[in-house]
Amino acid sequence: MHPRYELTQAGDRYFDGLVDKFSRSLYQAPRGELRLAMLDYLLPQMLNLQQQTVLDIGGGLGQQAAWFAKRGHRVTMTEPSGEMLDHAKNWHRVANELPDNAIDYLQAPLQTVGQFAPGPWPLIACHAVLEWLGEPRLAMQSLADLLAPGGQLSLMVFNRDALRLSNAIKGNLQKALSDQLEGQGRGQRLTPISPIAHDQVVQWSEENGLVVESVAGIRVFQDYLRQPAVAPHERDTLLALEKRYCRQDPHWRLGRYLLYTLSKPETRE
């Protein structure tokens, strides 16, 4: 029996109690491998990377923080779940050859990061976090406030449209039709409580003075395969396919995750 964890007062789901489940079902599985491979492929194309300091919000098990640190960025990783943060710290120390002091850690939710690490930051990563918040729209304002003029925000969200399609494919037709796609955020389930549609990202960006510079779909094909790609040559072919179509219309729109680069314009005199 796993303990039941509740949502916070703000309606957010911190990942306490989910370290094992999250690491097993995502990062020790082909889908996590593919997600990391796609981020490794896309981030250098979509971001102007110049070893800027990076704020990684809701950094989870720490993969993205390690990726930036290995490329010479000084990183501050924030995460509200003490269990996730401890896991990340330990993994950074044991399994990664990172320069000393490459990563600072802050246990805090996005909503209070501004009190402890106001920046403003030239580069912020916020990957797969908004869908775990009760009020993702408000979070975009916090992100915009933390970003320096001229700065870049790498935002990745769980795609509501892809969730509808995968429910239909699995035979959950009524669920797809009623559009009640949200998870409850309790127990060990990893269906997000606030899956997000592309139009929402566009609207919320506009509301907060952010410009959508580029977008890509992550895992555009993988979740829909009738036979999983298991053999190494099949995995390689799938990765090549994902790379080829991740930024092409209409394929990117049905990626399990949508990855954006948003920028904050320089303030005018």
Ligand X SMILES: C[S@@+](CC[C@H](N)C(=O)[O-])C[C@H]1O[C@@H](n2cnc3c(N)ncnc32)[C@H](O)[C@@H]1O
In the complex, the smallest distance separating the C-beta of residue 164 from ligand X, rounded to whole angstroms, is: 19
Among 46, 58, 193, 221, binds ligand X (CB under 6 A): 58
Task: Please report the sign of the dihedral spanned by the C-alpha atoms of residue 253, residue 144, residue 17, residue 99.
Answer: positive
Q: Which stretch binds ligand X (CB under 6 A): 95-103, 104-112, 202-210, 211-219?
A: 104-112
State residue 212 phi and psi, 5-degree precision.
Answer: -80, 110
Q: Which of 38, 42, 57, 153 binds ligand X (CB under 6 A)?
A: 57
Nearest Cα neighbor of 152 from 68, 52, 257 is 52
First-to-last CA distance in the chain? 60
Of 138 and 227, nearer to ligand X (C-beta) is: 138
- Min dist CB 218 to ligand X, Å, is 10
- Report in angstroms the alpha-carbon separations of 166 from 62, 134, 160, 172, 257: 28, 23, 10, 9, 13
Nearer to ligand X, 223 or 237 (CB): 223
Please, which residue, 14 or 121, has the CB nearer to ligand X?
14
Say whether residue 75 binds ligand X (CB under 6 A). Answer: no
- Binding residues among 245-264 for ligand X as defined by CB under 6 A: none
- Determine the Cα–Cα distance for residues 205 and 140; give it in Å rounded to an integer: 7
Residue closer to ligand X by CB (options 150, 217) is 217
Annotated binding site: 35, 58-59, 79, 127
The span from the CA of 22 to the CA of 189, in Å, is: 10
Taking the least distance from each CB to ligand X, the nearer of 63 and 205 is 63
Phi–psi pair at 156, nearest 5 degrees: -125, 135
Residue 154 makes contact with ligand X by CB under 6 A: no
State the nearest-atom distance from the C-beta of 194 to ligand X, in Å.
Answer: 10
Question: CA-CA distance, 21 to 27, in Å (whole number)?
Answer: 10
- Quick one: which of 38, 67, 73, 80 contacts ligand X (CB under 6 A)? 80
SS3 86: helix
Q: Coil, strand or helix: which one is 81? A: coil
Site string for ligand X, 120-149 (x = CB under 6 A): -------xxx--xx----------------
Indicate whether 110 belongs to the interface with ligand X (CB under 6 A): yes
CB of 29: closest distance to ligand X in angstroms? 13
Spatial separation of the C-alpha atoms in residues 84 and 58, rounded to whole Å:
9
Among 12, 38, 195, 261, binds ligand X (CB under 6 A): 12
Structural contact between residues 69 and 75, judged by C-beta atoms closer than 8 angstroms = yes
The contact set with ligand X (CB under 6 A) reads 12-15, 57-60, 63-64, 79-81, 84, 109-111, 127-129, 132-133
